[in-house]
Structure 1
Amino acid sequence: MSETAMIGAAATAEAPATGPAATLPAWYPGWARELADAYFSRTTCVFVLHGNVHDLIHAPVGGQDSYVSLPEFLSTQVFGSWDLVLGYDLSRGLRMLAGSDAGRLRAMAQYLTSRWGEPAGWPRDPEKVLWMLEALIERTLLDDPANRKSIAIVFEYGQYLVPAGDLGSLAQGTAARLVRFLSWAQNPHVKRVNIAFCLSADRVAEVNDRLVQNPYVTAIEVPLPDRDQRRAFIDAAARGGQLAKATDFSGDQLADMSNGLSLVNLNVVLAQAVHSDRRLDARRFRTLKKTMIERQCRDLVEFVEPAHTLDLVVGYEEAKQRLRQDAEWISCGQSDAAPMGYLICGPVGTGKTFLSECYAGSIGIPCVVLKNFRSKYVGETEGNLQQVLTVLRSLGPVVVIVDEADAALGSRRAEGDSGTSARVFSMIASQMGNTRFRGKIIWMLLTSRPDLLPIDLKRQGRAEVHIPLMYPRRAEEIRAMFATMARKNRLGLAADAVPDVSADRRLTGADIESIVLNARRLGLAEGRHEITRGDLEQALNEFVPSAQGLEKELQELAAVLECTQLGFLPDEWRAKISQPGGTTRLQERMAAIKQLIGE
């Protein structure tokens, strides 16, 4: 594995952006072709590149593979034949970009030094830099066409130059910068000559939407690498034979397993495999990938490796049959028969999260839990969510668990947060309803109050299958639940340990797990590692469940009324809802409880 293949080398100009987009090299990435198409149309000169903008980009040099950063790709490939390519960010200030072409760099320096002085004296303050660039552009427009310079300017971390925010919250300098970019975008004289402006930001939601949504500005997403791009990168990294010595996986297997990773993170995984004493086996790859993706998502998702399948779930036979069938279809690649998502509802403690993880375990695909992505800073909540959705689209097939979905996902009518909840709701609803990802992103919305979840998310085409979970009522279910909780926690249970427990106690799965764990403590206190009947009886007698009866009944009623298939319901609820006027009576009871508890 050569140093060039792993780190990337400077590219030379092989693809001038001064002709029809059809003449671009075959290896050009899709986003660069989109940029070229928009530029050659002469309708725009300002581009906002967002998404995977800090990754490595394939840029062959003389038939050899090379991987470079976005600014270098823009300066040496997209604008490789232009006279002046400048880069700017708040930390490094203004600088010339020419890759490894020393002659081109000298020509740029000679031209700019005669106008601005030595580069060391160039200002870093954004207002002064933009004023200098404005003067340069105005002079260029006045130059004779035969001597006019072509100019491209790359603004990295554009979200710090024109950050998101309402008009009233924009500082004077920020507002002035926004107006400057808008004036460049709308200037017909600039669009007639070879002048282009590229802003890059990993989260487009953090860039001012008055710029991003302006009709004269083109926003282009730089996606995570697809399988072919990952395969090509692995081939480049494997040259020299060191990678083959570090793992038994083939290049095709590594390309399949690395979905969701950027090339930078894939490079880290491969480099660790080569330079570590440990071989890269399936377990180690999963661990490294989990760490990389959680970091890539800024800890906004948590990877869960399900240790169980639906076989461990007690009761809910028809629901399990439906889930097993869907899991089989997804495993066989028949994603068109799979639902877009599920709504798992029921009172607290009924095992909604456990069922979801067991479902993922039955399919054998990754499972992620969507963590709290909301932030108090303007634009950051939407940026967080966009980052997560981008990774999920590349990661599929994947099960996405959203716990407390009624609180996490917002609604169209949320107030008091400057529209953030409404925008979050719109982004989630749009992704959930995108049928291109049927069978690739399986949404599991978990809530004890499905009535509070917006109807837009519960409709067919989004969370299509609504499964209610209830407290165990039959003696055999309760007995099996005790055995399951012991097995889940890897505890020894005597053959006759489970006593008779009345269904009238209305124990939840979480209650039963707590009782089993307390019985374990009682046994350990007496020097025993196996739970006996006496331990469980004592733990049962000491256990006091929560007394929020009306709230639990409300949650049960909400789950029953949301159910999309009668077979999912226990017998007693099925009988109630099947009676003439049964649904109406349940709705009336639910409304009465809400009134009693002050909702």
Structure 2
Amino acid sequence: MKALQIPSWLSAGVLERYHAGASHLFLLHGNVRDLHVFGGDWVPLREGLERLTRRRAVVATYDVSSGLAFPDADREKALRKALGLKGLLPADPARALVVLDAVLTTERCPAGSVAVVIDYAHSLAPAGASGAAERQNVTTLARWASDPRIAARRPLVILIAPSAQDVSDEVYAGASGAEVVAIPRPDLSARAEFARHLRAQAPELAWELTPDELASETGGLSLVQMEDIVQRARGAGTALGREAIVQRKVDLLREEYGDVLEILQPKHDLSAVGGLEHATRELKEVAEIMRRGQYAAAPMGIILMGPPGTGKSYLAECFARECGMLCVRFRPLRQMYVGQSERNQEKAFAAIRALAPVVVLVDESDQAEGGSRDQGSGDSGVTERMRGSAFNFWGDSSLRGRVLRIDITNRVDLIDAAMRRSGRTDIKIPILMPDEQARRQIFEVTVRKHRLPSAIQDYTPFARRTAGYTGSDIELAVTTAWRFALQGGAPAMTEAHLSAAIDDLIPTARDQRTIDRMTLIALDECRNKRLLPRNADAIRKEIEERA
């Protein structure tokens, strides 16, 4: 009989382990509600598992809503015969697990002839289970994983949950616990194959993209979500274009991950950045590496460091747009309920893996990491556990070229040294207060970025007048000048308008000693000469003279 075509994660994560005798109980989590290839068809996971186990005499599925179910009457008949059951089968968890326990241990079923699939396992044995019924369910599943008598019967038991963190860890903890298998989102080749299938199914739809282009634009989505995009266009009778796809993709990702990640849509690339030549030159090279898929040369992480208001966050978003990659930012993960903070963090990390390739922005990273590990947290170890989990995640070399973390900080010295080391952060770029030449470039880029009509030919005089201004101060001056021009009915911004705007603006008050300290810390942390601003020595000298 011809072997059934199955997903690679199932072959490597489940069947190889099962046939090696390493485990007989598996917890599948992650992309469990998607379509998967079984026998050349795209089918839901539960249906695919029924196809996988079609040669077994007894195949039973269970969830707390539907109760016990079977692929066909023969499988139900085999279970009833083995256990001598008549009448209605129980639906409540306690009695249903008794039936499944009996079929897993009875010698009336030949070894290797039983398969059990429990869907929504997190509702049966949830993390933090406290009630007597839930505790009994947890104990039963944990015993199935470790009982040598059950292992000797060679059943295949599969639990399904959206996240392993939602299931009691007693079920999968330790060497004798269930084997945890993460189901990934479809990669580019899988999405391309499915896109060709969708096109064949909807020939009447106006396709403005090829299947390969559709696959490229839908990175991070499941196949079900890809199908949703096509079906919406089909139902509305509109063309399937790039703009509609991107917007729907963002909407879908916000619906699915919006509680732990903010999905960003940067409007500008690095051409809209002025006055940071040392940074944009390096970031353009990294962006090109990412676009070409040369992952071995890609950095694991980047730190943009320096005083506030110098454009670090804006630069990071422009870089993400330059790469053509999805850009996300963490939402607050801390919650008051026991274990919820860690589960939120785990969900965010799982989402980042699923969305790859992705740029992850971490604003105020010195605070996001919980500061120095020497600082007491007073939170019963939550901070330490989350910090340890973060170190493990960001140190995973398999993320190189697929997930790029960008830390944005005023005080890089407050980020834990373990996060700043090579292998987690490879590029550290000082982003400092702009000098006169940089300020002139910021004026020019701001006018171009906002597409403002301007009669000004040379911004050098205005750059001289704005010593101590940040990039955000200069942008405010330019937009205010355009407002003055509109009030006067002028067709373009003139030198008089910009001069009036600068006279009107009160720059943000800053503590110069604090700015100097942040500047020196950033310069000292940089480990590559090419990443220093061209006037780094002059900046140091100026600070020393003020001191």
TM-score interval for Structure 1 and Structure 2 normalised by the shorter chain: 0.7 to 0.9
Question: How far is the alpha carbon of 1:85 from its aligned partner?
Answer: 0.5
Paired residue total: 541
SS in 1 for 2:226: helix
The 2-side partners of 1:345 and 1:207 are apart by 40
1:519 to 470, 474, 481: 481
Residue of structure 2 equivalent to 1:437: 399
Aligned pairs (5 A) from 1:204-353: 204-216=164-176, 217-240=178-201, 242-243=202-203, 245-298=205-258, 300-353=260-313
Kept in 2: contact 1:96–1:105 (CA 8 A)? no
The 2-side partners of 1:113 and 1:145 are apart by 9
SS in 1 for 2:462: coil
The 1-side partners of 2:268 and 2:521 are apart by 28
Distance change (3 Å), C-alpha of 1:282 and 1:431: same
Structure 2 residues without counterparts, runs of 5 or longer? none
Distance change (3 Å), C-alpha of 1:322 and 1:450: same
Residue of structure 1 equivalent to 2:41: 66
Shifted more, 380-389 versus 460-469: the winner is 380-389
Aligned pairs (5 A) from 1:183-582: 183-216=143-176, 217-240=178-201, 242-243=202-203, 245-298=205-258, 300-410=260-370, 413=373, 415-474=377-436, 476-495=437-456, 500=462, 505-528=467-490, 530-549=492-511, 550-570=513-533, 573-575=536-538
The one-letter amino acid of 1:491's match is L
Question: How far is the alpha carbon of 1:380 from its aligned partner?
Answer: 4.0
The 2-side partners of 1:324 and 1:225 are apart by 28
Distance change (3 Å), C-alpha of 1:111 and 1:525: farther
Kept in 1: contact 2:300–2:403 (CA 8 A)? yes
Distance change (3 Å), C-alpha of 1:347 and 1:307: same
Question: How far is the alpha carbon of 1:143 from its aligned partner?
Answer: 4.4
Distance change (3 Å), C-alpha of 1:154 and 1:489: same
SS in 1 for 2:105: helix
Aligned pairs (5 A) from 1:86-235: 86-89=61-64, 92-98=65-71, 101=72, 103-104=73-74, 107=77, 111=81, 115=85, 117-119=87-89, 122-124=90-92, 126=93, 128-129=94-95, 132-134=96-98, 137-138=101-102, 141-144=105-108, 150-165=113-128, 170-216=130-176, 217-235=178-196
Question: How far is the alpha carbon of 1:382 from its aligned partner?
Answer: 3.9
Distance change (3 Å), C-alpha of 1:503 and 1:154: farther
Q: Aligned-pair RMSD on alpha carbons? A: 3.4
Distance change (3 Å), C-alpha of 1:118 and 1:86: same
Distance change (3 Å), C-alpha of 1:346 and 1:78: farther
Question: How far is the alpha carbon of 1:220 from its aligned partner?
Answer: 0.9
SS in 1 for 2:60: strand
SS in 1 for 2:472: helix
- Map Cα deviations across residues 49-97 of structure 1 (whole Å, 9 max, x no partner): 111111112223xxxx4333222222332365231403123xx152213
The 1-side partners of 2:371 and 2:151 are apart by 41
The 2-side partners of 1:412 and 1:170 are apart by 35
Kept in 1: contact 2:278–2:534 (CA 8 A)? no
Distance change (3 Å), C-alpha of 1:109 and 1:178: closer
Residue of structure 2 equivalent to 1:7: none
Distance change (3 Å), C-alpha of 1:325 and 1:252: closer
Shifted more, 440-449 versus 418-427: the winner is 418-427
Kept in 2: contact 1:74–1:80 (CA 8 A)? no
Question: How far is the alpha carbon of 1:303 from its aligned partner?
Answer: 4.0
SS in 1 for 2:170: helix
Kept in 1: contact 2:68–2:91 (CA 8 A)? no
The 2-side partners of 1:88 and 1:366 are apart by 36
The one-letter amino acid of 2:271's match is D
Distance change (3 Å), C-alpha of 1:133 and 1:546: same
- Map Cα deviations across residues 514-546 of structure 1 (whole Å, 9 max, x no partner): 222333333333344633333333332333333
- Map Cα deviations across residues 354-404 of structure 1 (whole Å, 9 max, x no partner): 212222333344333343344444444444444444444454443322222
Question: How far is the alpha carbon of 1:109 from its aligned partner?
Answer: 8.1
- Map Cα deviations across residues 559-585 of structure 1 (whole Å, 9 max, x no partner): 222222344444664257699xx9xx9
- The TM-score with structure 2 as length reference comes to 0.86
SS in 2 for 1:209: coil
The one-letter amino acid of 1:553's match is D
Kept in 1: contact 2:56–2:112 (CA 8 A)? no
Distance change (3 Å), C-alpha of 1:253 and 1:517: closer
Kept in 2: contact 1:83–1:149 (CA 8 A)? no
Distance change (3 Å), C-alpha of 1:343 and 1:139: closer
The 2-side partners of 1:470 and 1:403 are apart by 17
Kept in 2: contact 1:350–1:508 (CA 8 A)? yes
Distance change (3 Å), C-alpha of 1:513 and 1:94: same
Distance change (3 Å), C-alpha of 1:247 and 1:497: same
Kept in 1: contact 2:60–2:76 (CA 8 A)? no
The 1-side partners of 2:170 and 2:539 are apart by 54
- The TM-score with structure 1 as length reference comes to 0.80
Distance change (3 Å), C-alpha of 1:269 and 1:427: farther
Kept in 1: contact 2:456–2:493 (CA 8 A)? no
SS in 2 for 1:210: coil
Question: How far is the alpha carbon of 1:183 from its aligned partner?
Answer: 2.0
Distance change (3 Å), C-alpha of 1:407 and 1:334: same
Question: How far is the alpha carbon of 1:261 from its aligned partner?
Answer: 1.4
The 1-side partners of 2:127 and 2:7 are apart by 31
Kept in 2: contact 1:352–1:469 (CA 8 A)? yes
Kept in 2: contact 1:566–1:574 (CA 8 A)? no
Residue of structure 2 equivalent to 1:51: 30
Structure 1 residues without counterparts, runs of 5 or longer? 1-13, 15-22, 590-599
- Map Cα deviations across residues 277-313 of structure 1 (whole Å, 9 max, x no partner): 2211222222222223333323543444444333332
SS in 1 for 2:14: helix
The one-letter amino acid of 1:340's match is M
Distance change (3 Å), C-alpha of 1:189 and 1:522: same
SS in 2 for 1:36: helix
SS in 1 for 2:506: coil
SS in 2 for 1:399: strand
Aligned pairs (5 A) from 1:80-91: 81-89=56-64
Kept in 2: contact 1:399–1:443 (CA 8 A)? yes
Distance change (3 Å), C-alpha of 1:330 and 1:136: closer
Distance change (3 Å), C-alpha of 1:292 and 1:486: same
SS in 2 for 1:492: coil
